[in-house]
Amino acid sequence: MKSTAVPGVDFARVGGWIERYFERPDAYRVAPAVEPGDVVRALPASAPENAETFDEIMSDFERIIVAGSTLWNHPRFFAYFATSAAPAAVAAEALAATLDVKAMLWRTSPAATELEEVVMRWLGGLLGLPRDWTGIIYDTASIAGFTALAAARESMGFEIREAGMAGRDLPALRVYVTDETHSHVEKAAIALGIGQRNVVRIPCDGAFRMNARGLRDAVERDGGAGLRPMAIVATVGTTSTTSIDPLREIAEIARAYDIWLHVDAAYAGVAAILPECRHMFDGIEAADSLVVNPHKWMFVPMDCSALFVKDASLLRRTFGLVPEYLTTPQDDAVNYMDYGLQLGRRFRSLKLWFVLRHLGAEGIRAQLRRHIALAREFASWVQATPDWEVLAPHPFSVVCFRYAPSGLDDAELERLNSGIMDAVNATGEVFISHTKVAGKYAIRLAIGNIRTERSDVEAAWHLLRRAAVEARPS
């Protein structure tokens, strides 16, 4: 029987579609067969004047939207970072949308606020973070990183919050990264008035890790020139190769010179729940902030990014601002609007709670280990095959490699490999992306979907080799 409270909305049809999607991913192309503009052309130019039936809307969802989507939540999605939404988290999202809570004040969202406290404490515990750190959920690592850097700027004592930066006698503020650091740090520097020129790129070693000696030299040089080091961003699991910056050495420099240390572990951070990977956070207690994305490799759907900070009062000092209409009688309650730019916030902790409970820490560990083992196995196939080469160490579940028959220079190999990747992606059977590793074009296979099996990785390898045979220059 259909409820009269929701006339015409067929929740069973939605649930059925979701179930079929999870059961039969092979019924769908991973990357859609569409050209730019196809989706626009398939839709009317203006909004409907009259109500349409739910059936019509669902049919168009399947026919136009799904067919025009790159399916990130597909076991053969191997591009960028392979992510996935566990079915339990999909259910949680529907429930969160039903409550439609705005988690800005405790009073507007008691359960959302307190569940966020609880699951962040759970997550921090699983990752082995210092017990007295505070975890807060943001939409993305980019915004979490921006928020941490804003607090870093505020903590320097220049009263930029009140006085701004223009028309004052302020030294240039410097942020230290490497060529492998994610681009959002530079965007944060733009937005915070730091300036792109003050984002200093420290050289890396042969394994794409920040050279601590180079960092110390740069900090010394800047100090001597009257510039003010503001923050160091160390990455655990860089975006191209997933290399790991030497945290302990970097943290020692950060403490010696009193510089904010932000650790970007957006993708790889969740691996700290594996005892065998915990060493990657060695030295973390000396950092000031750390970001980990459950929406990347912990089966929580976009968006859910966890920022942990040593001193949450600095975030409040940076962003706290309460207009009259948002004052509340609960003086000592946590009001998350005080910890960032965003006012109304989604109930993101709900899906994280569902995933942590439905998989359990052991279930999550088993998945991560499976992905890491699959990546190792894939790399071993590449290495064992004549004319193929692995281009970087692969500490987690991402492998950078290329087809490199002899007699071709790097430019020719780039054309050859991008052709191979395009041919593989055009099949719709898998989706793979690329990067550059020390200037060399690399195909990049990322494993991380909760439903990816060995047979899916084998399929990708088979398609790559077949495309290589077809593309080989004669």
Ligand X SMILES: *Cc1c(COP(=O)(O)O)cnc(C)c1O
Query: Residues in the site for ligand X, rule: CB under 6 A?
Result: 81, 140-142, 182, 184, 235, 237-239, 264, 266-267, 293, 305
Concatenating the DSSP letter of every residue in 217-248 gives HHHHHHHHTT-EEEEEEEEBS-TTT--B--HH
DSSP code for 63: I
Q: Closest distance between ligand X and the C-beta of residue 305, in Å?
A: 5
Residues 174 and 422: their CA atoms lie apart, in Å, by: 40
Q: Closest distance between ligand X and the C-beta of residue 211, in Å?
A: 18
| C-beta of 211 vs 293, nearer to ligand X | 293
| C-beta of 352 vs 464, nearer to ligand X | 352
Residues 417 and 401: their CA atoms lie apart, in Å, by: 10
With beta carbons less than 8 A apart as the criterion, state whether 103 and 116 touch: yes
| C-beta of 266 vs 464, nearer to ligand X | 266
b/e map 73-84, b = 16+ CB within 10 Å: bbbbbbbbbbbb
Q: Closest distance between ligand X and the C-beta of residue 61, in Å?
A: 25
| C-beta of 303 vs 458, nearer to ligand X | 303
Q: Closest distance between ligand X and the C-beta of residue 291, in Å?
A: 7
Q: Closest distance between ligand X and the C-beta of residue 177, in Å?
A: 11
Beta carbons within 8 Å of 454's beta carbon, 6+ residues apart: 374, 377
| C-beta of 280 vs 464, nearer to ligand X | 280
Q: Which two tokens stand for residue 39?
A: 């989706």
Q: Which two tokens stand for residue 141?
A: 């690592």
Residues 292 and 298: their CA atoms lie apart, in Å, by: 10
| C-beta of 144 vs 151, nearer to ligand X | 144
Long-range contact pairs involving 89-95 (C-beta distance under 8 Å, separation at least 24): 89/299, 89/300, 89/301, 89/351, 89/352, 89/354, 89/355, 90/18, 90/301, 91/354, 92/350, 92/351, 92/353, 92/354, 92/355, 93/301, 93/350, 93/351, 95/350
b/e map 126-144, b = 16+ CB within 10 Å: bbebeeebbbbbbbbbbbb
Q: Closest distance between ligand X and the C-beta of residue 436, in Å?
A: 16
| C-beta of 184 vs 444, nearer to ligand X | 184
Integer Rg of the chain from CA: 24
Q: Which two tokens stand for residue 49?
A: 């004047």
Q: Closest distance between ligand X and the C-beta of residue 269, in Å?
A: 9
Q: Closest distance between ligand X and the C-beta of residue 268, in Å?
A: 8
| C-beta of 179 vs 410, nearer to ligand X | 179
| C-beta of 81 vs 401, nearer to ligand X | 81
Q: Closest distance between ligand X and the C-beta of residue 145, in Å?
A: 7
Beta carbons within 8 Å of 180's beta carbon, 6+ residues apart: 204, 208, 210, 235, 238, 239, 240, 241, 243
| C-beta of 182 vs 310, nearer to ligand X | 182
Could you tell me the CA-to-CA distances from 377 to 244, 370, 381, 396 in Å, in that order? Answer: 21, 10, 6, 12
Residues 474 and 464: their CA atoms lie apart, in Å, by: 18
Q: Closest distance between ligand X and the C-beta of residue 318, in Å?
A: 19
Q: Closest distance between ligand X and the C-beta of residue 149, in Å?
A: 13
Residues 127 and 137: their CA atoms lie apart, in Å, by: 15
Nearest one of 27, 9, 10, 18 to 89, comparing CA atoms = 18
| C-beta of 196 vs 328, nearer to ligand X | 196
